[in-house]
Amino acid sequence: MAGIAGIFSRDGQPVAEGVLTRQQESLAHRARHGHALWRGAGIGLMHCQDDVSPRVWPREQTLGDPSGRYAIVCAGRIFNAREVASQIVDAGGRTPGETILEVMLQAYVQWGDSAFGRFNGAFACAIWDAAEQRLVLARDHLGLKSLYVHVTDRLCIFGSEVKAILAHPDVAKNPDEVSIAQFLTFNHYLFHTERTFYQQVQRVLPAQVLTVDRSQTQRRHYWQIDPMRQDRYSSDEHCVDTVRELVTDAVRIRMPDTPRIGAALTGGFDSSSIVCLMRHLDRQERSGRTVLETFSFDFGTPDADEVELIDLVARRVGANHHHIKALTPNFFSDLDRLIQLNKQAADAAGVNVFLRGLGGDEAFMGTLHYLSDLFRGGKWIELAQELRGMYPVDYSTGKRTSLEDLFRSYVLTPLMPEWIRRMRKVQLGQRFPPKWVASALVARTGVGQTLPKTDAPTFSTAYGQWSYELLHHEVVGGVIPYQDVVSSAVGVETRYPLLDIRLVEALFALPREWKLYRGKVRVLQKKAMAGLLPDEILRDHVKKNFHPTLNRFLRQAYQKPIEDLLTSPKPLVREFLDWPVLDAYYRSFVSGQVSDPSPLWGAMNLEKWLSAEWGPKCSCK
């Protein structure tokens, strides 16, 4: 929740209060506890305050340091403020105040840009230095809070959402066809870019510091995962104890001091671990006074829902559980209403902080691409043993497997030379660019000239590389921005204990055998959670695969909206898509020949966005 926005006039012109007010109005849904506007010479800052306790700053105003040189606004928070405050004092700095914002600002005064690397949290902040006439924008390590920017020779405008930048009259809403073409490829390497759907709006990337003064603009990263780090422990018990304490503390520091706390509970290992740790910590440190409100989205069939495990964990921790029906007959036309139902459920339960287990699959388990490491290393016997452990069912997904598919996907594909990929124009198992992207758009944007590449660092193993890329691109680049927008829209702050930066770094420095080993999944995580989770969760069992149920539902749900789009006389999205290819893909999806609805979802949502923003006047040309 919360939100920030602001304007820096690089030419020294005063910032109009009316424009700041328009920015505030565009983010009004984030201002659950009021807002504040602050203006200085050539600078204006806006902060929407949330009602999460403890507040980052108890008063409704921008925080400045005692000297008057600095000012700060922040969306989100850091969870290690006490630790950082102690580090400031140990370094000889001034003792900061007790609020989170005071600690963040004093840390910047003490260490400059390197202060951001010391923070453990989810934040997007802006710091103004009046003496240097410099604006500093920064996001947390993994980019859990969004931040957008518009920079010209005359202006720097920023905001938690794009709409806060578009509120300025000097920012044109021209669509960016390169970004649109990238979006339509559904290539996850293109989720992590500075581009947005608007030509004049860019992203500040995760772990990035953007510095803007009167004459220069600089971007730099203050952190990236160390792919060479390998942690050694004195014993297996030491490793288990260390990770258990990391997970426990990651949950501890994200539990607000409120009577009620919300959490996702799917019956899976990650959500169950978080909920059980919340109750464990509550009993140990809060006398068991916290009311846990847990939520699940149910598909309405025992083939997909883990209702028994959900209810088992809820009973174990004494939570009030809320089963929410995820699929409705008019799913796509009901999306806005479903989001409001989520808001009503959260409001009725009295929660404004929500903990989720996102990131656990990637950090505690990873992918099966380690099979190619065994093949490349000539470890044939071990490779055979590993294949035997995941055939005919992969316990990590619940899906039935075939030896041919396993060998092709996880042994041969990672070993394919880059020149062959380029020659075949295939990446991530898909032609690039896909045929449904209009050839004219491909030619204009140059999207198909080269295969996209990851911006993640290079690991020494295929397992490490593919597992981290999955976290980096799909979770952080794809899922998290959506979660940030939706959570803020319903007045809830979502927190991710398993994306604690200490935990992510530690888990990616461990050998694969701690995670996947001969058909065993989450080896370390199960040892760390023994005694806290019910035995039914700890023991190996085939995870229910909800994808067949979801695909059956989507084949019905997509029919009316897609057929309406395909038969529309002048669809705006037609400029960007090969219409016959999209139509043929739709027929194949409905008949069950293909299972991925991404191009249909993309076409439908792009049409809605184009219609909402420009209507029939839309054109990228």
For residue range 430-450, list pLDDT tens digits in order: 889 999 999 999 999 999 888
Let me know: does 324 contact 298? Beta carbons within 8 Å: yes
Let me know: does 534 contact 312? Beta carbons within 8 Å: yes
Work out the percent of the chain whose per-residue pLDDT is above 90. Answer: 70
pLDDT(496) > 90: yes
pLDDT(342) > 80: no
Distance CA 319, CA 240 (A): 27
Q: Span 477-506, mean pLDDT? A: 92
Task: Please give the pLDDT value at position 324.
Answer: 86
Work out the percent of the chain whose per-residue pLDDT is above 70. Answer: 95
**Domains of the chain listed by start with CATH number:** 3-174+199-221 (3.60.20.10), 224-415+454-544 (3.40.50.620), 548-616 (no CATH)
Give the range among 25-29, 52-56, 136-140 with minimum mean pLDDT: 52-56
Distances in Å between the alpha carbon of 113 and those of 10, 64, 84, 90, 94?
21, 17, 14, 18, 18
Total residue length of the chain: 621
Distance CA 422, CA 412 (A): 16
Task: Please give the pLDDT value at position 617.
Answer: 63
pLDDT-derived band at 252, boundaries 50, 70, 90 = very high
Most confident option among 44-48, 461-465, 538-542: 461-465
Q: Span 232-249, mean pLDDT? A: 97
Pick the residue with more confidence: 202 or 404?
Answer: 202
CA–chain centroid gap for 476, Å, is 4
pLDDT(61) > 60: no
Q: Span 124-141, mean pLDDT? A: 97
Pairing label, strands 353-355, 493-495: parallel
Q: How many CA atoms lie within 13 A of 76 on its CB side?
A: 28
- Which among 156, 137, 127, 20 is positioned nearest to 64, based on CA atoms? 127
pLDDT(311) > 60: yes
pLDDT-derived band at 618, boundaries 50, 70, 90 = low
Average pLDDT, the chain: 91
Q: Span 584-596, mean pLDDT? A: 93
Let me know: does 520 contact 389? Beta carbons within 8 Å: yes
Distance CA 48, CA 57 (A): 11
Burial of 409 (0-12, 13-18, 19+ CB in 10 A): middle
- Tokens for 117? 């690397």
Instruction: Specify the pTM.
Output: 0.94
Task: Please give the pLDDT value at position 397.
Answer: 65
pLDDT-derived band at 339, boundaries 50, 70, 90 = low
- 157-167 pLDDT, tens per residue? 999 999 999 99
Let me know: does 30 contact 11? Beta carbons within 8 Å: no
pLDDT(176) > 90: yes
- Which among 115, 206, 212, 179 is positioned nearest to 455, based on CA atoms? 206
pLDDT-derived band at 332, boundaries 50, 70, 90 = confident
Task: Please give the pLDDT value at position 54.
Answer: 72
Let me know: does 414 contact 372? Beta carbons within 8 Å: yes
Most confident option among 87-101, 273-287, 537-551: 273-287
pLDDT-derived band at 541, boundaries 50, 70, 90 = low
- Which among 68, 110, 60 is positioned nearest to 85, based on CA atoms? 110
Give the range among 550-559, 577-586, 587-596 with minimum mean pLDDT: 550-559
pLDDT(31) > 70: yes
Task: Please give the pLDDT value at position 152.
Answer: 97
Cβ atoms within 10 Å, residue 452:
20
